[in-house]
Structure 1
Amino acid sequence: MSNGPHAKLAELGLTLPEVVPPVASYVPAVQSGQHVYVSGQLPMADGKLLATGKVGNGVSAEQAKDLAQRCGLNALAAIDSLVGLENVVKVVKLTGFVASAPGFTGQPGVINGASDLFGAVFGEAGRHARSAVGVAELPLDAPVEVEVIVEVS
């Protein structure tokens, strides 16, 4: 059995979804040189947001962490469709946005949902620089959004 990223996803009980179609004028991912830049990914499944609202008011931090994992999975699907996950050399940077209720300061824990996924799929190559930012609103009233930059071979 392979040790590649697809095998790791299977071990985690996860499968790559279809690439989420853009909701505006952009593409899901673009390659420039040795890097792939993935557009902000929302927690979409089967064309629908899995949740809406603010983290800390209607969306729990634990639920938001799961939603961030889904954002990460959608990002992996975008990378796979463009260059293939087996060509990822390093996850370089992850930026996570959390639609936060006033007083909610647990953004880093929420974005761990995506960070932990990349670590589980890519091992040491999945360790990355990161920002976890609280925002007032996200597109479509999504609770979380994740964008990622990866180095590819």
Structure 2
Amino acid sequence: MSADQKAKELGISLEAQEPGYLNLCVRSGNQLITSGHVSDQKGILGKDVTIEQGYEAAKNCAAKILRSVYNTHGTLDGLRVIKVLGCVYSAPDFTDQHLVINGCSDLLHEIFGKDGDGYHARSALGFSALPTGVAVEVEAVFEVKN
């Protein structure tokens, strides 16, 4: 099954987006580089947001990234996930950012394959604040293979 088909089967919206203040995804050579995409979930991990809620928030960011990539490139097929940067709004003693950002990585693995084109480099970082109080923000880099 193609990446496009998997995304649609999982209920990920790939519908057209209106241009905004910043470009959500830019193609440079054979790379697609996304802006940070924020979760619908707000709050602080380790305070008022659980790891499970954070995981879903990171998954929500990944779905938004896939929509932006699709709208820029016209397909998710023929792509390789290169790098993911996950930012987590964290309480001072919260140290499970990696478990939160697994929500993003797991969705990308499901779409592109864990042992194939979805196997990516990643950073998961904690921040004392994120824009508008969102729980998670994620950006990604994809390679266009064909």
Same fold by TM-score greater than 0.5 = yes
Report the residue type matching 2:106 in the other structure.
D
Q: TM-score, structure 1 length as denominator?
A: 0.86
Whether contact under 8 Å (2:130, 2:137) holds in the other structure is yes
- Work out whether 1:89 is the aligned partner of 2:79: yes
Q: TM-score, structure 2 length as denominator?
A: 0.90
Indicate the structure with greater strand content: 1
Change (3 A) 1:88 1:140: farther
The one of 86, 92, 108 equivalent to 1:118 is 108
CA–CA separation in structure 2 for the residues paired with 1:20 and 1:108: 32
| Partner deviation per Cα, 1:96-116 (whole Å, 9 max, x = no partner) | 000001110000010000000
- Work out whether 1:80 is the aligned partner of 2:70: yes
| Partner deviation per Cα, 1:19-69 (whole Å, 9 max, x = no partner) | 4864xx4210100000000000001xxxxxx32111111111100100100
- The corresponding residue for 1:42 is 38
Whether contact under 8 Å (1:29, 1:38) holds in the other structure is yes
Any gaps of 5 or more consecutive residues in structure 1?
44-49
User: RMSD of the alignment, in Å?
Assistant: 1.6
- The corresponding residue for 2:140 is 148
Whether contact under 8 Å (1:76, 1:85) holds in the other structure is no
Tell me by how many angstroms 1:87 deviates.
Answer: 4.1
- Work out whether 1:64 is the aligned partner of 2:54: yes
How many pairs are equivalent? 142
The one of 1, 7, 10 equivalent to 1:9 is 7
Any gaps of 5 or more consecutive residues in structure 2?
none
The one of 117, 128, 131 equivalent to 2:123 is 131
Tell me by how many angstroms 1:8 deviates.
Answer: 1.1
